[in-house]
A and B are shown apart, each in its own frame.
Chain A
Amino acid sequence: MTSVKANAGALTNFEVLDLLNSRGASKDTTRVIASETVSRSEYKVYDYLMETAASTQTRDSVTKFSDKCKGFKLAKAEILNIINLRPSSDVELTPILEKPDEREIDIEGILALVQELLPPLPTVEAHKENEQEETEDGEQPNMETSV
């Protein structure tokens, strides 16, 4: 086995969740036995991602956010971290950034952008139906179990 390219591109949590969704993963309890396209270990990843900010994001919001981030002088890894974690306060954003004071990063600006563009985190107690949109224009959400 040879590695052609060890790193062909970093993926946000949202992109991985999107991939699993397009294969037929869903929150239905009968899915683990029924699904042929998604294995059990992939479901574990799916379950983990559904509890993070990725479950409420849309492709549109993620692309718009990373475009606008270019104006803030952030490293690619930092933008990835922000999209994955969706910090809503100063104290959540600081561990992500490296030496923010020396680089004169506009923390308030970044938080305002997050608030504006990225959908809020899913509520842990009750998953509201209207918060689980991950569709791109024209793409159908595949929420049915495949038999």
Chain B
Amino acid sequence: MFCLSELEDTVRVPPSDLNLPLEVAIKKALQKLFLDKVLSIGLCVSIYGIKSIEGGFVLPGDGAATYKVVFRIVVFRPFVGEVIAAKFKESDSNGLRLTLGFFEDVYVPAPLIPTPNRCEPDPYNRNQMRWVWKYGDDEFIIDDSCQQIKFRVENISYPPVPTERAEDAKPFAPMVVTGTIDDDGLGPVSWWEACAPISDDED
């Protein structure tokens, strides 16, 4: 789910931070620049450490010092085929949306929900649709009550920043993970709790 990435960048330390120890000041500037931002390599979660700092020049007309820094960051970048546990966020006619707390744009489109299924208007929440999986004679509902939902990553995409949008469109998601719950062991954890650990009682 996470991996380390090594980057090099020019960092500008504002004059107000120059009384701090150098590493702390640079780390602060790096956090402001990278933390919680989506780069081409993924969502930056944390600064792991600084490898080298060079420079410290003050450019004319600017009170800040500029450094060339090589550092490592922890990025959230799931790989295709990874199984991740998430929580239910909302669902609509296109499919489900799951959240990881720190990352909320995990979508399970309708074709990747186990069939046969049906979508019905949610009786508790007028705007939402609810997905129900029909297995044999039982029906399993996918909604808020599911503690954890496991999904497998199918695809990660980084949609380009839109130039214009409709007024009521969803906030722009720079990184979208598409997942599937259509396989053994995937979907709400409660669906599989009946299977005994280690010994194979049912298939």
Write the residues of chain A forming the contact surface with B, with a CB cutoff of 8 angstroms.
1-11, 13, 15-16, 19-20, 39, 41-42, 44-45, 47-48, 51-52, 77, 80-81, 84-85, 87-96, 98, 108, 111-112, 115, 124
Contacts and interface: CB of A to CB of B under 8 A. Distances in A.
Contact of A48 (B46, B100, B183): B100
Interface of B: 1-10, 31, 35-36, 40-41, 45-46, 48, 70, 72, 74, 76, 79, 81-85, 100-102, 147-148, 150, 152, 183-186, 192, 195-198, 200
B83 A90 contact: no
A102 B140 CA distance: 32
Contacts of B72: 8
Contact of A16 (B7, B45, B152): B45
Contact of A9 (B3, B31, B46): B3
Contacts of B184: 91, 94-95
Contact of A45 (B5, B6, B41, B102): B102
10 A-B pairs with the lowest CB-CB distances in the bound complex, closest first = A44-B102, A48-B101, A88-B197, A5-B6, A1-B9, A8-B4, A4-B6, A41-B36, A11-B2, A89-B197
Contacts of A16: 2, 45-46, 74
Nearest to A48: B101
A20 B95 CA distance: 34
Contact of A10 (B2, B35, B100, B185): B2
Contacts of A4: 6-8, 70
Contacts of B36: 39, 41
Contacts of B48: 19
Contact of A95 (B10, B40, B41, B183): B183
24 contacts: A1-B7, A1-B9, A1-B10, A2-B8, A3-B6, A4-B7, A7-B3, A8-B3, A9-B4, A11-B3, A19-B46, A19-B74, A81-B83, A85-B83, A85-B150, A87-B185, A89-B196, A90-B198, A95-B183, A108-B198, A111-B198, A115-B197, A115-B198, A124-B147
A91 B195 contact: yes
Contact of B198 (A19, A51, A94, A112): A112
A84 B1 CA distance: 9
Contact of B5 (A6, A39, A92): A6
B20 to A, nearest CB: 11
Contacts of A84: 1, 84
A131 B40 CA distance: 38
B46 A42 contact: yes
Given A3-B6, A85-B83, A95 B1 contact: no
B171 to A, nearest CB: 16
User: Of residues A15, A85, A87, A95, which shows the largest number of chain B Cβ atoms within 10 Å of its Cβ?
Assistant: A95
A75 to B, nearest CB: 9
Contact of A91 (B31, B79, B102, B185): B185
Contacts of A6: 5, 41
Contact of B46 (A3, A7, A20, A87): A20
B142 to A, nearest CB: 17
Nearest to A38: B46
Given A11-B4, A80-B82, 5 more contacts: A16-B45, A45-B45, A48-B102, A77-B82, A88-B197
